[in-house]
Amino acid sequence: MEWIIFFNFTKKTHIMLSKNIEAALNKQIRIEAESSQTYLSMACWAEVHGLEGIAQFMYTQSDEERAHMLKLVKYVNERGGHAQITDLKAPKTSYSTFKEMFEALYNHEIFVSESINELVHITFEEKDYATHNFLQWYVAEQIEEEATAKSILDKINLIGDDKGGLYLFDRDIQQLTVQALSLLTQNKKVKVYLEYLKITLFFYICLC
Q: Binding residues for ligand OFO, per CB under 6 A?
A: 32, 35, 65, 68, 109, 112, 141-142, 145
Task: Estimate the crossing angle of helix 163-183 against helix 186-207, to 10 degrees.
Answer: 150
Minimum Å gap between C-beta 138 and ligand OFO is: 7
> 65 or 172: whose CB is closer to ligand OFO?
65
> 131 or 142: whose CB is closer to ligand OFO?
142
> 68 or 79: whose CB is closer to ligand OFO?
68
> 128 or 141: whose CB is closer to ligand OFO?
141
> 141 or 170: whose CB is closer to ligand OFO?
141
> 66 or 132: whose CB is closer to ligand OFO?
66
Dihedral sign computed on CA atoms, order 54, 57, 62, 63: positive
137 by Cβ neighbours in 10 Å (0-12 / 13-18 / 19+) ranks as exposed
